[in-house]
Structure 1
Amino acid sequence: MFNVLKTLMTGASARADEALTDHFAIDLIEQKVREAHAGLGGAKNTLASLIIRQRNEERHVARLDQEIGDLERRTSLALADGQDELAAEAAAAIAELTNERAVRQATCAQLVQRVVRTQASVAKANRRLIDLRQGMISARAIDAERRAQRSLNRSIGNSTAMQDAEALIKRVMNQDDPLEESDVLDEIDAGLNGASVRDRLAQAGYGDRTRVTGGDILARLKAAQAPKTNE
């Protein structure tokens, strides 16, 4: 029982986390982009520090080359003059400088490799950051459109007033026409009392007509005026 409850609570917590993430997705994206930008800034600072160290080492190597070259020329002159003891001291100094130069050259070579690797990493991170920013712009636009659509659905599509109006329109449109209903009732009544059949028979010349027509009225009026005309 406890394991079942634990599983249900874990699932509910995961769903709550997903819902919270979806709701604040744009804010989270913007924060991650800021963190990525800060990380890129740190990588740039590291690259700058490496480049500065490399240039310093290169300057030290160049200075040692000059000192060693100068001491070798001076030592050669001392040897030419027979100053063997002084030349030996100079040779020892040249050896120390040469060893220092070798160490600095090795350090410089290592720094060059580190600079190259760091430059590649910075360039890659910069491209990814550009993609992230473009993706963030697209995500903002999509999120704004979805929010607007949800708001529109709430204010119009799911409006109670709109639904009531639609129902009333359907009610009015589906009502029967009173005039048509009256005509139909008259037809029904006429059929029930046989008047309709008598009218059709009278119009066909079988028996007297049951209803006065406009023609009957005109004939009567003409007949009433006939004696006056003869006089």
Structure 2
Amino acid sequence: MFTTLKTLITGANARAEEQLRETFSIELITQKIREADGNLKAAKLTLAGLIQRQRSEQRQVETLEARIQDLMARAGEALEGGREDLAHSAAQAVADMENELAVRRQTLDRLDTRILQLRQSVEAASRRLTDLKQGAIAARATRREQDIQRGLRKHAGGDSPAEEAEALISEVLQRGDPFEQGEILREIDSELTNSSIADDLADAGFGPRSRSTAADVLNRLKGKN
């Protein structure tokens, strides 16, 4: 029993999640694009930092190379001038700078590789983000069309504005004339009180009428003349 209930609850949750995702699909797309855009900006900042470090290392390498060339030239001049002690000091400094230069060149090579890989990733992510934004525009347009279509199809359920208007028009046209209804009500009341029978007898010449008629008024006018 508990297993069955767990299965039903899991299914209900899955259906609710699907319905929620469908209802807010445009909002979810926008949020995911926003997150992807944030990731792309972070990657660009990382790439900029690597390029900045690469340029700094390149400047250091160029400076070391220039200093080594300068000291090598000076050491040669010292040897020619009989100053082997100065040449030895220069040679030691050159050796230290060459070791540092080797390390910096290795660092520069690693930076070149990382920059190339990250640049390719950034370019791919940028193209993908552009495609996603275009897809989001198409999705919004499709959603608007779907909303319009759903609005037009509501007449199947009897709740469309057009059908409601048609029903109201039909209702108004089918309404009875209030004056005619009043006359009919008076006829019904007369029949219920039997007053119409007396009027019928009066019209036949048996007894006075219970109400005045146009003929009575005309007869009175003729009598005055």
What TM-score, normalized to structure 1? 0.69
Partner of 2:158: 159
Matched residues in 1 for 2:128 and 2:58: separation?
A: 33
Deviations 1:120-177 (A, max 9, x none): 00010011101100110110001111111212223x4433683885xx8xxxxxxxxx
Matched residues in 2 for 1:84 and 1:5: separation?
A: 94
- Displacement of 1:76 in angstroms is 0.4
Partner of 2:47: 47
Secondary structure of the structure 1 residue equivalent to 2:108:
helix
Amino acid at match of 1:7: T
Matched residues in 1 for 2:42 and 2:93: separation?
A: 42
Deviations 1:61-85 (A, max 9, x none): 0000110000000000101111111
Secondary structure of the structure 1 residue equivalent to 2:35:
helix
Matched residues in 2 for 1:141 and 1:7: separation?
A: 37
Partner of 1:125: 125
Amino acid at match of 2:150: R
Partner of 2:178: none
Mind listing any 5+ residue stretches in structure 2 that lack a counterpart?
A: 171-225
Secondary structure of the structure 1 residue equivalent to 2:100:
helix
Partner of 1:96: 96
How big is the alpha-carbon RMSD for the aligned residues of Structure 1 and Structure 2? 2.2
What TM-score, normalized to structure 2? 0.70
Matched residues in 1 for 2:122 and 2:147: separation?
A: 36
Amino acid at match of 1:162: E
Secondary structure of the structure 2 residue equivalent to 1:82:
coil
Matched residues in 1 for 2:139 and 2:46: separation?
A: 32
Mind listing any 5+ residue stretches in structure 1 that lack a counterpart?
A: 169-231
Q: Percent identity?
A: 48
Partner of 1:62: 62
Q: Which has the larger radius of gyration?
A: 1
Matched residues in 2 for 1:59 and 1:37: separation?
A: 33
Amino acid at match of 1:4: T
Matched residues in 2 for 1:133 and 1:146: separation?
A: 20
Report how many residues are paired. Answer: 168
Q: Which aligned runs of 4 or more in structure 1 are off by greater than 6 angstroms?
A: none
What does residue range 8-157 of structure 1 map to in structure 2 within 5 Å? 8-154=8-154, 156-157=155-156
